[in-house]
Amino acid sequence: MLHIGCHLSSSKGFAAMGKTALSLKADTFAFFTRNPRGSKAKAIDPRDVEAFKALWPAYGTIPLVAHAPYTLNPCSSKEEVRTFARETIADDLAKLEAIPGNYYNMHPGNHLGQGAEQGIALIAECLNAVLSPDQSTTLLLETMAGKGTEVGRTFEEIRELIDRIDAREKVGVCLDTCHIWDGGYDIVNHLDAVLTEFDRVIGLDRLKAVHLNDSKNPLGAHKDRHEKIGEGQIGLAALGRVVRHPALKDLPFILETPNELPGYAHEIEMMREAAETGSHE
Ligand code: FE
Ligand code: FE
Ligand code: ZN
């Protein structure tokens, strides 16, 4: 069965997210660890985790995909910005141990003109300071669209970053379909070739989750504007092939499309149908 969910508001805690996710027929979900500006985060309440465990059938089997604030920049040229990113990630990873065994996804960073090489060095420095071989959370590096000076537009950049991390066994990759399409990887016409390339450069064993999004823009646009499933330039047929692909089909798929909850329920149903029947070929 396809494992799919969407991004949910974490403001009311895990049990509330679990109830919402069940009402959408999701069996995983994503959430921000704190508000996207990256300010204060409350500790995870163990009673809330217990309540979530009691109502969530997939507890401990299908990982949830937490998302770091997207405003963090561990490769800023400013030391205080890097320090803030490092402290926030460390704090999030510590808090997530209250709900062990899940994923923590982050955007690698923006090199701001220092060059990808320097960006990668600074991100690795940050991650080497926060990752521990004892943590139960796997940190996922997200493939990026290459907007502005984003690091992680190519599989090579992600690979180089992973190579510089000591606790590499705690690191995986989250593939965002909108981002790689915008980054120039043609998943509409050459999905097999793109995944072969991913395997050659990074290794499919590192691929832990997929952000399933359509894109408002054409291949290689480097824009990063998500679209509803089937309403963008990637399209439902291609995204159906993504969820059915043997290398991907067992991963958690997260929708980050511009939707309210009913729109997500509709997309989850549509993708479950596409996964089962292939009827949207
Ligand atoms: Fe993201
Ligand atoms: Fe994403
Ligand atoms: Zn995006």
Q: Are 173 and 202 in contact (CB under 8 A)?
A: yes
Neighbours of ion ligand 1 (CB under 5 A): 142
Q: Are 207 and 175 in contact (CB under 8 A)?
A: yes
User: Does the pLDDT at position 279 exceed 60?
Assistant: no
Sign of torsion, CA 24 38 103 77? positive
User: Does the pLDDT at position 37 exceed 50?
Assistant: yes
Q: What percent of the chain has pLDDT over 70?
A: 97
What does the pLDDT look like over 200-254, one tens digit per residue?
Answer: 999 999 999 999 999 999 999 999 999 999 999 999 999 999 999 999 999 999 9
**CA–CA separation, 227 and 234 (whole Å):** 9
What does the pLDDT look like over 62-97, one tens digit per residue?
Answer: 999 999 999 999 999 999 999 999 999 999 999 999
278 Cα–ligand 1 center, Å: 27
DSSP-derived 3-state class of residue 255: strand
What does the pLDDT look like over 148-205, one tens digit per residue?
Answer: 999 999 999 999 999 999 999 999 999 999 999 999 999 999 999 999 999 999 999 9
106 Cα–ligand 1 center, Å: 7
Q: Count CA atoms closer than 13 A to 37's CA, side-chain side.
A: 2
All structural domains of the chain: 3-277 (3.20.20.150)
Which whole-number Å values give the CA distances from 10 to 139, 143, 171, 243, in the listed order?
Answer: 19, 23, 24, 26
Per the prediction, the chain carries an average pLDDT of 96
37 Cα–ligand 1 center, Å: 14
Ligand having the closest approach to the CA of 255:
2
Structure tokens at 9: 């508001």
Stretch 120-127: mean pLDDT, rounded?
98
What's the pLDDT at 40?
A: 76
Stretch 30-54: mean pLDDT, rounded?
88
40 Cα–ligand 1 center, Å: 20
CB atoms within 10 A of CB 253: 25
Ligand having the closest approach to the CA of 146:
3
User: Does the pLDDT at position 280 exceed 50?
Assistant: no
Q: What is the pTM of this model?
A: 0.97
Helices 236-244, 261-277: inter-axial angle, 10-degree rounding: 60
Scan for tokens 């989250």, then name that residue: 174
Q: What is the DSSP letter of 169?
A: G
**CA–CA separation, 154 and 21 (whole Å):** 32
Ligand having the closest approach to the CA of 211:
2
